[in-house]
Amino acid sequence: MASSFTFVLSASLLVIIFLEITSADFNNEFDITWGSDGHGKVINGDLLTLTLDKPSGSACESRNEYLFGKIDMQLKLVPGNSAGTVTSYYLQSEGPNWDEIDFEFLGNLSGDPYILHTNVFSQGKGDREQQFYLWFDPTVDFHTYSILWNPQHIIFSVDGTPIREFKNAESIGVPYPKDHPMKIHSSLWNADDWATRGGLVKTDWSQAPFTASYRNFKADACVVASGKSSCGDSVALMSEELDTTKQERLRWVQKKNMIYNYCSDSKRFPQGFPPECNMA
């Protein structure tokens, strides 16, 4: 798909020519980067599974790099006693001053809720965590987890419901991820030193192997290749905002389901919260 529209993002950045929309055949879109011995595998092109046992975890990354757009992935998380495990799904650039946009799903004891951990890194600095309880059991069926990333803001959504917005606050000195293209990564790994109740609950390896499943990947996003980015038809995506209904849903989730917000952690920031926390 192509458009004659040309959008110049900045003098130092890339010329965006057309928007690329891909819907996965995982064989074409992703590479297994850890666990290629069978811990990570693609089934019939449309299902990706990552497995963790005591010898190894697994991970994959997209072949494409993206600079702005909307990324959707459906995940079904590790069922049962998944304490100590972390299933991650995130965007990340390369280099020492990397950018990153994180979904991490912290395993639980059977019957306890999963914790959805989110974070945003820019120029190698994160420490912007927000955590949520999901309002459904994410192990029973697939649910859609989305990242909308444009020059104005980053919006994390679950099944179309926004749960977090991180706004561009460069005007008050807050770095924002906008200059580095990022690949999509997913992994399943053992983090029982911190993942469940701060590391108090360890991984029960008798429950292994642990498996998370992925399907219906879609990137409505700008693909970067040879220093140039392709974008265009969905130009509205580059300035998409939350309408009134979605703003109300965001407030509902943050009121009912948020369990940690770095912008409320006065013990962590005794000298005052980071400047973006004061933005409306």
Query: What number of residues does the chain have?
Result: 280
- pLDDT > 70 fraction of the chain, expressed in percent and rounded: 88
Classify residue 229: in a domain, yes or no.
no
Q: What distance in Å separates the CA atoms of residue 222 and residue 16, rounded to the nearest whole number?
A: 8
Which residues carry out catalysis? 100, 104
Closest C-alpha among 229, 195, 17, 21 to residue 108: 195
Q: Is the pLDDT of residue 41 over 70?
A: yes
CB distance 16 to 237 below 8 Å: no
What pLDDT does 1 receive? 37
Q: What is the pLDDT of residues 136-166, one digit of tens each?
A: 999 999 999 999 999 999 999 999 999 999 9
Neighbours of 169 (CB within 10 A): 17
Strand order in the sheet with 130-133: 30-34, 58-62, 183-190, 85-92, 100-106, 115-121, 130-133, 258-261
Q: Is the pLDDT of residue 206 over 80?
A: yes
Q: Is the pLDDT of residue 7 over 50?
A: no
What pLDDT does 279 receive? 83
Mean pLDDT along residues 78-84: 95
25 three-state secondary structure: coil
Q: Is the pLDDT of residue 6 over 70?
A: no
Name the most confidently modeled range: 11-25, 79-93, 189-203: 79-93
Tell how strand 143-149 and strand 40-43 pair up.
unpaired
Q: Which residue has the tokens 């099944």?
A: 159
Classify residue 84: in a domain, yes or no.
yes
| Torsion of Cα atoms, 194 then 197 then 199 then 203, to 10° | -100
CB distance 169 to 276 below 8 Å: yes
Classify residue 86: in a domain, yes or no.
yes
CA–CA–CA angle 44, 160, 136 (5° rounding): 80
Classify residue 198: in a domain, yes or no.
yes
CATH code for the domain of 205:
2.60.120.200
What pLDDT does 95 receive? 92
Classify residue 4: in a domain, yes or no.
no
Q: Is the pLDDT of residue 200 over 60?
A: yes
CB distance 63 to 30 below 8 Å: yes
54 three-state secondary structure: coil
What pLDDT does 73 receive? 97
Number of domains the chain is built from: 1
Classify residue 1: in a domain, yes or no.
no
**Which residues lie closer than 8 Å to 112 by C-beta, 6 or more apart?**
none
Classify residue 250: in a domain, yes or no.
yes
Instruction: Categorize the per-residue pLDDT at 22 as very low, low, confident or very high, splitting at 50, 70 and 90.
Output: low
**Which residues lie closer than 8 Å to 172 by C-beta, 6 or more apart?**
275, 276, 279
Mean pLDDT along residues 188-205: 93
Q: What is the pLDDT of residues 105-133, one digit of tens each?
A: 999 998 899 999 999 999 999 999 999 99
What pLDDT does 23 receive? 56
Classify residue 226: in a domain, yes or no.
no
- Domain hosting 85: range is 21-221+237-278
